[in-house]
Structure 1
Amino acid sequence: MTDWTWEYNPSQEHVVGGLPPGVMAEIERLATELAVLGADAAKVGRPVDREGGLREFDILNGRGFINFLAVPRHHCVYVCGVTWYG
């Protein structure tokens, strides 16, 4: 277990406002799991050839994806964007 947390950036309304509750729950579940990974979250998802920077991770069997940043100096994973194909 790490001391990392996660947050929406810039805000929950901006990132996931209007999405179905099940999709929001899945995003929050994944964000919690990414925070548990701590600094290793910077290696998850795409791009696969490098770590750090804005990362992308598929959700719900390819029906969308999240963009996130793992910031070691803040001990935080920031969920910055969600694309939902419905």
Structure 2
Amino acid sequence: MSDWTWDWNPSEGFLTEGLPPGVIAEVERLATELAALGPDSERVGRPFNREGGLREFDFLAGRGFISFLPIPRHECVYICHITWTD
């Protein structure tokens, strides 16, 4: 188990405005799972050919994706963008 956490960047209100509650809950669940991976979260999602930097991960059968930034020195995964298609 990792001591990493996750957070919204820029803010929860900005990123989740207008999203259905179920989508927000799924993003929060995924963020918790990414934080549990700790430093391995730098290898999850796209791009596949390198570690670190801004990453993307599909969710809910490809109906949306999140962009996230794992920062090892903060021990935190930051959710930076949510794309959702109705």
- Answer whether TM exceeds 0.5 for this pair: yes
Tell me how far 1:18 sits from its aligned partner.
1.4
Match of 2:34 in 1: 34
The alignment partner of 2:73 has SS state of helix
- 2:81 and 2:10 map into 1 onto residues whose CA distance is 9
Match of 1:71 in 2: 71
- 1:44 and 1:27 map into 2 onto residues whose CA distance is 15
Count of paired positions: 86
**Residue ranges of structure 2 left out of the alignment (5+ in a row):** none
TM-score, structure 1 length as denominator? 0.98
- 1:74 and 1:27 map into 2 onto residues whose CA distance is 20
- 2:70 and 2:17 map into 1 onto residues whose CA distance is 22
- 1:50 and 1:19 map into 2 onto residues whose CA distance is 31
The alignment partner of 1:22 has SS state of helix
Match of 2:9 in 1: 9
- 1:48 and 1:28 map into 2 onto residues whose CA distance is 23
The alignment partner of 1:39 has SS state of helix
Tell me how far 1:8 sits from its aligned partner.
0.4
Backbone CA RMSD of aligned residues: 0.5
**Residue ranges of structure 1 left out of the alignment (5+ in a row):** none
Percent of aligned pairs sharing the same letter: 66
User: 4+ residue runs of structure 1 moved beyond 4 angstroms?
Assistant: none
Match of 1:54 in 2: 54
